[in-house]
Structure formats: structure tokens, C-alpha cells
């Protein structure tokens, strides 16, 4: 394992540079590379002398966004190059073949967070590209995207690094390190599970870590989770305790002995691979830690990770312990008249309320589909995704047939989204445009079994298409098998056509086979299609029964209206058996299950909708419920 020193900024402040030291740019630590490089060299040299294997460059804020505050934004690339060269000279004083030392090119979060709308993706990514080019040109050894407060900002920086690697034909190790506040989450509310789900999906990341904000004591449980679940080496860089103000100055109270004790726990008990230090740590802290920990071999990392998606706030595994993954279907311009009206009115508050309704009804993930005839999809998805990414807690599925719509949505989203969908309808033309985007933004994907011949109907056809998609997505583009959710397609049973009677059985058998033949992948189904065209009461029963059969066959996720799914125990026995007869086409000479099933609902009306039920309540009860739900519509 290695020791890495990162308290460049706090050490600079402790030395109290003068305005002259800053070359007239008071407070711009990064400009010291130009105006007072010997000050930086002295700091970095002290940490190498203490025994650190790696030390940061003075480039934490060396990006266009921060430099614009000092009117030096045109010098981003130059100053990063100079800073990398400067720390490299100090590194070379200590590095030997027997004990190589390293320089870490630090890339901070800047001062504008994209998830809050402070800056857009394209502007921010170019800023990070410039910084990365300069660091690589200056000979930096490792790129460290650190002190991350917004997962979208983190993804933008990592995307910029990936771009520059391709542009310069280079590849350096990359650390991505988030900051967990005393609240237990990142600044915008992401917990460590959410951060890990998001970062594990990005190939650019080699090492995942936590740094800054708190001392090691407050990090313990977050480090434990990260070390137990990350497949990648773990980097831990606490501050020297929580900062205190003494005599008007910021102080960090953690002693070297206490720092060493916690680093020993992180390395020996939890399996951290890089013991680092952030604000307030000193050469004495590292000397104590190195003496206490030594340099053991890092513990083995887990070989697998739980397949999941994430919002800005939480991670949701695809495999639920006691249920299937419920994908809420009500934000669909094609399938929901209520959502379509909100779309046409550009009612973002109404859409947020609809998202919250679905969460309250039991959805785990929300499908967002804005494609509608006569409208541009990209502006619509931008409008609603901007609101939903911070105001809805559940992860989003971006559902569109248009590549620009998917790209627009992914550029806005800090979590790990699901793209709905990829298929082979036009051969490989569209799938090979979508997969690079899916990989770049670390998304999962719904894979429809559709090929050039159409929607796969029989079992062998479905499996043939699934194998083709798997080969392209996993073998060629490097997707994780667990991030593929195969939709084996189901078709309406209510029409009575002979060629449709066996479709439900084919779907169920295809679900069983794909789980066996393509291990590690997942399955998903738009369940309500099976009942298309039937009366609402009949649809609820058939959807519920078919869903139960699909889950029994191995279905992992279903795109449904959770409120419309009924437990089998609450369905009358006659309706339950009739639905199963229809699904399995149990026709006899004197019995047609479709005719029988329809007859059971001739005089049955659907239950009143929730909105109608609430409208019947007294005003004070309605207001109370609106406050609980956070619903401001129609107040």
C-alpha cells in the first residue's frame, strides 16, 4: 500500500503568503506555481522527506471556472503544465528504482456545481479538458479528481479525462475521491453507496476514495462500506480532524498519533490501499502513520459488485430482496394522458409531483419518456430532467428512440441512469451510437429483443437476438452483464388472434432461458402490454397475474403502475384461474379462456382513482395530504 500527501492548500495557508508571494492574485494558490514556486517545492519536499510515496500538485483549482475569477482563464493549460513539471522536479529528487515516488495531479470541484444548474456540461467538460492536457504535458503520474461534492461534476471531469486520453494517446491511473460531509452524505445529498454505484460504472476510474470535510473518526462507516464493496483499490484521505477556529485562525486538532491509529484501522481492518491525508495533515502525521502501519500488501478486493442504478441521492439494486424492481410507468407521453398534458403545458411542478406520487406508491425507479409527435424531444427531456434530478429521490430511466434525447438526458444526470432502450431494429446502426454514450456516462441499458425482422415472437428468436445484443454490448463495448436488462417482449392477449395466443408463454420461457444462457444479466418487462385493449378492471387482474408468473420465471424488473398491481391473495379465485388459463392458453373443446376471462368483467367497474378519492375529502384533510406529499398543484 502507499501513502499520499494532499494538504497543499492548508499548508500554504499556514505559511501565510503575502500578496507579493501571490504575484498580485491574492488567494490564488495555483498561481504560486508561477509567482513563488520555491514555496510549493518546500511543502512538497517536506512530505516526500517524511516518507510519502506520492504528493499532490498545486492545481486543485487550476481550471477555467476558478481562473476566470482572477482573469487568467487563458492560462489554464500553461499553469497546469508548469505545476506538473514543478512537483515532478521535487519527486525526482527522491524517486529511485527501488523506491519509486509519484506525483498526483489534483483536479478539484471548482466553484460551480452542474447539478444545481450553475454551469452546463459542455462548458465544464472543456474546462477540465484544458486542465488535464496541461497536467499530462507536464509529466504528472496520476490524475486525482478529488473533493467531489456533486456526482455530475465528478462524471464531467472523468469524461474530460477520457477525452484527453484518446486525444493524446495516453493513459494514466485515475483516482476519483468524493467528500462526505458531517451530515453523512456529499454536499448535494449523495450517500457513499450512491457514489460507489455511480463511479464503479466508469471505466476511467482506477481507484475510488473519500477525502476532506471531516476527520477519520467521522469517516469510519463510510470507509467500511467502500472497502467492503468496491472492486477497485480504496483511497482514504481524512483531514486532521474537524477544523476549529482559534484566535481567528483555522486549526486542525487531530494529533499525529490519532491519525496513525485510524489509518491503521483503515488499512489493516478495512483494506484501504492508499493512506492519504488532506487538510491539516503534516509531515509529522505521515511519519506517525508510516511507523504504525508499515507497508503491507493491500487486501484483495471484491471481484463482483451488486448491479444497481442510482439517483443523485440513493442507490437501488436491480435485484430486490423481497420484490421485483418496480419501474414507474406514469411519466410516459405515449402511455399516460395525464403526463402528456403536463408535457404539453411544460408543467415541471406537475411532473415532479407525479414522480413523488409514484415513489409513494412503491416505485423503485422512474421511467421518463417525452417523445411525442410534433415536439422536439431534447428540450423537453432537458426541462424535466433538470427538475427531477434534484427533486425526485428515485433513479431515472431515460426512455427514447432518439439518440440526441438520450445524450441530452445523460449530460444532465449525476447518478447512474438506465437507458431505454437498445435493440437491433436497424441492425447495428443505432446500437453502436448509443453504446459509447452508455459507457461514457456509466449507464445501464434496457435491451429489447428486436432485430431487422421485427419484434421477436417465438422463444428461439428472442434468444437469438439477446445473444447478438450481448455480444455487441458486453464483448465489444465492455458493458457489465449486470447492466443489461433484457426485455423479452410481451404482446396483447385480448385480441384473440391465433398467432398471439402463445405469446405470453413464449415470453415466460424466454425469461427463464436468458437468465441461464446469459448469466449475470437481468430481465425487465413492460407488463401492461399483455392486457392492452381490455377494460381497466380486467387489465388490473391480468397484469397482476402475468407479473406474478413472470417473477416466478425469473423476471427482475417490471415497468408498471405500482398502484394498479394487486396481490394475488386479493384477486377472486375465479378471476385468478381464468387469467392463468388465458396466459397458458388452456383452451378445450368447449372452453375458450379469453371469452371466459372477458365475461367475468362485463359488469365490473374499476376502483376510483386516488385523485378522485382525495377530491372527496374535506378541505383540511386535502391540505394535510398535500403538505405530506409536497404537492403544490392547485393549492
DSSP 70: G
Residue 221 confidence (pLDDT) above 70: yes
Average pLDDT over residues 230-252: 92
Residue 349 confidence (pLDDT) above 90: yes
476 by Cβ neighbours in 10 Å (0-12 / 13-18 / 19+) ranks as: exposed
CATH number of 308-565: 3.20.20.20
Contact 355, 379 (CB under 8 A): no
Quote the pLDDT of residue 246: 86
Place of cell 438506465: 418
β partners of residue 317: 308
Average pLDDT over residues 95-109: 98
Average pLDDT over residues 96-108: 98
Contact 523, 488 (CB under 8 A): yes
> What mean pLDDT, rounded, does the chain reach?
95
Average pLDDT over residues 127-148: 98
Cβ of 383: how many Cβ atoms within 10 Å? 16
CA distance 216 to 310: 26
Place of cell 485515475: 174
Taking only the tens place, the pLDDT of each residue in 304-337 is 999 999 999 999 999 999 889 999 999 999 989 9
Cβ of 626: how many Cβ atoms within 10 Å? 16
Average pLDDT over residues 416-445: 98
Cβ of 351: how many Cβ atoms within 10 Å? 24
Contact 462, 508 (CB under 8 A): no
CATH number of 2-293: 3.20.20.330
Quote the pLDDT of residue 496: 85
> Which residues, in sequence order, are CB contacts of 10 under 8 Å at separation 6+?
250, 252, 278, 279, 280
Contact 416, 389 (CB under 8 A): no
Closest alpha carbon to 64 in 55, 50, 77? 77
Closest alpha carbon to 138 in 86, 75, 204? 86
Quote the pLDDT of residue 630: 63
Average pLDDT over residues 169-191: 97
Residue 216 confidence (pLDDT) above 80: yes
CA distance 365 to 603: 35
Quote the pLDDT of residue 164: 98
CA distance 518 to 488: 13
Quote the pLDDT of residue 108: 97
Quote the pLDDT of residue 611: 60
Closest alpha carbon to 62 in 52, 51, 77? 77
Same fold, 2-293 and 308-565: yes
Average pLDDT over residues 475-502: 94
402 three-state secondary structure: coil
Number of DSSP helices (H) and strands (E) in the chain, helices first: 23, 22
Report residue 490's pLDDT band, with 50, 70 and 90 as the boundaries: very high
Closest alpha carbon to 472 in 441, 442, 451? 451
In sign, the C-alpha dihedral spanning 496, 498, 500, 504 is positive
Residue 460 confidence (pLDDT) above 70: yes
Taking only the tens place, the pLDDT of each residue in 259-307 is 999 999 999 999 999 999 999 999 999 999 999 999 999 999 999 999 9
Quote the pLDDT of residue 279: 96
Residue 47 confidence (pLDDT) above 90: yes
Average pLDDT over residues 466-470: 98
Closest alpha carbon to 282 in 41, 39, 27, 52? 52
pTM of the model: 0.92
CA distance 481 to 55: 37
CA distance 288 to 246: 25
Average pLDDT over residues 78-97: 98
635 by Cβ neighbours in 10 Å (0-12 / 13-18 / 19+) ranks as: exposed
Quote the pLDDT of residue 622: 82
> How far are the Cα atoms of 143, 223, 414 from residue 191, in angstroms, in the given order?
24, 12, 13
β partners of residue 398: 368, 419
CA distance 440 to 201: 9
Quote the pLDDT of residue 606: 61
What are the sequence ranges of the domains in the chain? 2-293, 308-565, 605-635
Least reliable range by pLDDT among 69-83, 371-385, 492-506: 492-506
Quote the pLDDT of residue 627: 78
Residue 632 confidence (pLDDT) above 70: no
CA distance 529 to 81: 57
Quote the pLDDT of residue 233: 97
Average pLDDT over residues 150-158: 98
Taking only the tens place, the pLDDT of each residue in 568-619 is 999 999 999 999 999 999 999 999 999 999 999 998 876 555 566 677 788 8
Average pLDDT over residues 505-523: 98
Quote the pLDDT of residue 249: 83
**Residue 421, preceding peptide bond in cis (omega within 30° of 0):** yes
Provide the percentage of residues in the chain whose pLDDT is more than 70: 97
CA distance 601 to 299: 62
**Residue 172 phi, psi (nearest 5):** -115, 160
Quote the pLDDT of residue 629: 61
Amino acid at each position: 500500500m502507499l501513502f499520499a500527501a494532499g494538504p497543499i492548500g492548508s499548508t500554504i495557508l499556514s505559511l501565510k503568503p503575502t500578496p507579493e508571494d501571490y504575484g498580485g492574485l491574492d488567494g490564488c494558490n495555483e498561481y504560486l506555481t508561477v509567482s513563488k514556486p520555491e514555496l510549493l517545492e518546500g511543502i512538497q519536499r517536506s512530505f516526500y522527506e517524511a516518507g510519502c510515496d506520492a504528493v499532490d500538485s498545486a492545481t486543485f483549482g487550476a481550471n477555467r471556472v476558478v481562473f476566470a475569477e482572477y482573469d487568467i482563464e487563458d492560462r489554464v493549460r500553461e499553469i497546469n503544465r508548469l505545476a506538473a513539471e514543478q512537483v515532478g522536479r521535487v519527486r525526482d529528487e527522491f524517486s529511485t528504482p527501488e523506491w519509486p515516488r509519484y506525483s498526483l495531479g489534483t483536479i478539484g470541484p471548482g466553484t460551480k456545481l452542474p447539478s444545481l444548474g450553475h454551469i452546463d456540461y459542455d462548458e465544464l467538460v472543456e474546462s477540465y479538458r484544458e486542465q488535464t492536457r496541461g497536467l499530462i504535458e507536464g509529466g504528472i503520474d496520476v490524475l486525482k479528481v478529488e473533493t467531489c461534492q456533486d456526482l455530475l461534476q465528478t462524471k464531467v471531469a472523468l469524461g474530460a479525462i477520457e477525452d484527453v486520453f484518446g486525444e493524446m494517446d495516453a493513459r494514466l491511473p485515475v483516482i476519483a475521491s468524493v467528500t462526505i460531509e458531517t451530515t453523512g452524505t456529499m454536499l448535494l445529498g449523495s450517500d457513499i453507496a450512491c457514489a460507489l454505484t455511480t463511479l464503479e460504472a466508469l471505466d476511467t476510474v482506477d481507484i475510488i476514495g473519500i477525502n476532506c470535510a471531516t476527520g477519520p473518526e467521522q469517516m469510519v462507516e463510510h470507509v467500511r462500506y467502500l472497502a467492503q464493496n468496491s472492486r477497485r483499490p480504496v483511497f482514504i484521505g481524512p483531514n486532521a480532524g474537524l477544523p476549529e477556529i482559534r484566535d481567528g485562525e483555522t486549526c486542525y486538532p487531530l494529533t499525529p498519533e490519532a491519525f496513525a491509529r485510524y489509518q491503521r484501522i483503515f488499512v489493516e481492518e478495512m483494506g484501504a490501499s492508499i493512506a492519504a491525508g488532506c487538510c491539516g495533515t503534516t509531515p509529522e502525521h505521515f511519519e506517525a502513520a508510516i511507523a504504525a502501519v508499515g507497508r503491507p500488501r493491500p487486501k484483495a478486493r471484491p471481484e463482483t459488485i451488486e448491479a444497481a442504478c442510482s439517483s443523485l441521492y440513493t442507490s437501488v439494486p436491480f435485484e430486490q430482496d423481497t420484490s421485483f424492481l418496480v419501474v414507474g410507468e406514469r411519466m410516459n407521453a405515449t402511455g399516460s394522458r395525464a403526463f402528456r398534458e403536463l408535457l404539453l403545458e411544460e408543467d415541471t411542478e406537475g411532473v415532479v409531483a407525479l414522480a413523488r406520487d409514484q415513489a409513494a406508491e412503491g416505485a423503485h425507479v422512474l421511467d421518463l419518456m417525452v417523445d411525442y409527435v410534433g415536439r422536439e424531444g431534447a428540450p423537453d427531456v432537458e426541462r424535466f430532467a433538470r427538475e427531477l434530478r434534484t427533486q425526485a429521490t428515485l433513479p431515472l430511466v431515460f426512455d427514447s428512440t432518439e439518440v440526441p434525447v438520450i445524450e441530452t438526458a445523460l449530460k444532465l444526470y449525476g447518478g447512474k441512469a438506465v437507458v431505454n432502450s437498445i435493440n437491433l431494429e436497424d441492425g447495428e446502426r443505432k446500437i453502436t451510437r448509443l453504446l459509447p454514450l452508455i459507457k461514457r456516462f456509466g449507464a445501464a441499458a434496457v435491451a429489447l429483443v428486436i432485430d431487422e425482422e421485427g419484434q421477436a415472437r417465438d422463444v428461439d428468436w428472442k434468444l437469438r437476438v439477446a445473444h447478438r445484443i450481448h455480444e455487441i454490448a458486453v464483448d465489444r463495448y465492455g458493458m457489465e452483464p449486470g447492466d443489461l436488462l433484457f426485455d423479452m417482449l410481451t404482446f396483447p392477449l385480448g385480441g384473440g388472434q391465433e398467432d398471439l395466443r402463445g405469446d405470453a408463454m413464449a415470453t415466460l420461457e424466454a425469461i427463464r432461458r436468458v437468465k441461464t444462457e446469459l448469466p449475470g444479466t437481468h430481465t425487465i418487462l413492460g407488463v401492461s402490454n399483455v392486457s392492452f385493449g381490455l377494460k381497466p378492471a380486467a387489465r388490473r387482474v391480468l397484469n397482476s397475474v402475468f407479473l406474478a408468473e413472470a417473477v416466478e420465471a425469473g423476471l427482475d424488473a417490471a415497468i408498471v403502475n405500482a398502484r394498479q398491481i394487486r396481490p394475488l391473495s386479493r384477486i377472486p379465485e375465479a378471476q385468478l384461474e381464468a387469467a392463468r388459463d388465458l396466459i397458458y392458453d388452456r383452451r378445450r373443446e368447449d372452453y375458450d379462456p379469453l371469452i371466459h376471462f372477458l365475461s367475468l368483467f362485463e359488469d365490473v367497474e374499476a376502483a376510483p382513482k386516488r385523485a378522485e378519492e382525495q377530491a372527496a375529502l374535506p378541505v383540511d384533510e386535502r391540505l394535510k395530504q398535500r403538505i405530506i406529499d409536497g404537492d403544490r398543484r392547485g393549492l
